[in-house]
Amino acid sequence: MKKITIAIDGFSSTGKSTVAKQLAKALGYVYVDSGAMYRAVTLYAMQNGIISNDHFDVEKLIADLDRLKINFKYNNAIGFAEIYLNGVNVEHDIRTLEVSQWVSQVAEISEVRRMLVFQQQQMGKEKGVVMDGRDIGTVVFPEAELKFFMTASAETRAKRRFKELLERNENVSYEEVLKNVESRDLIDSTREDSPLKKAKDAIEIDNSSLSLEAQFEKLYAFAREVIEKK
């Protein structure tokens, strides 16, 4: 059976990564979390004093890009690949609200996008990949055989994200998380380089009231239909 490329785009905290992992596992495909790659660059910028509340040395970050080695390593214990930055597992470190506060600003930088888009395209050369992010169906894989665009209300997404952060023992408030979600939506949708938008041929999925199981079944049905027609 021929393999396809599945692109999943959408707003932050719409469960893109969760359903992408489920699809990849069910289909025997490779899963790539493109957002994690931008988060890894953001973490590097934070760790090296490049970005903070009152400072963002864009030129320094651009100059340092060739020092960044970002790759994924499959973890059998958890059933998916974790991200490594310069040889260090940063899967947990990149998921904090602090990283979330800066990742959209870092993702605006064209040089960062060019570097990561190239890497993502290399990962998907052989097809049989499920990749989620903001510009997968529009920029990274515009010819993908199946594209989804995930959406949900900002309040619903903030509640989900707040719950995740509390489970990781992050000391945050719901108001902080909602503000971050709304801020990221604005930056992601209005940036000049590869803004977040629904591809013309993408299937829109509003999962505000969908359970994880119902969401997976819906996307899996679409995937099986496309694959069987190949």
pLDDT surpasses 90 at 139? yes
**Rounded CA separation 202/200 (Å):** 6
Look at strands 51-52 and 80-85 and give their pairing: unpaired
Signed CA dihedral, 86, 109, 45, 188: sign only: negative
Question: Tokens at residue 218, please?
Answer: 């819906």
Among 60-64, 148-152, 190-194, the range scoring the smallest mean pLDDT is 190-194
Query: Is residue 209 helix, strand or coil?
Result: coil
Question: Tokens at residue 188, please?
Answer: 């992601």
pLDDT at 75: 87
pTM comes to 0.88
pLDDT surpasses 90 at 79? no
Q: Return the beta strands (E) in the chain as ranges.
A: 5-10, 30-33, 51-52, 55-56, 70-75, 80-85, 88-89, 129-133, 146-151, 203-206
Give 179-204 pLDDT, tens digit per residue.
Answer: 999 999 999 999 999 999 999 999 99
**Rounded CA separation 91/146 (Å):** 27
The mean pLDDT value of the chain amounts to: 94
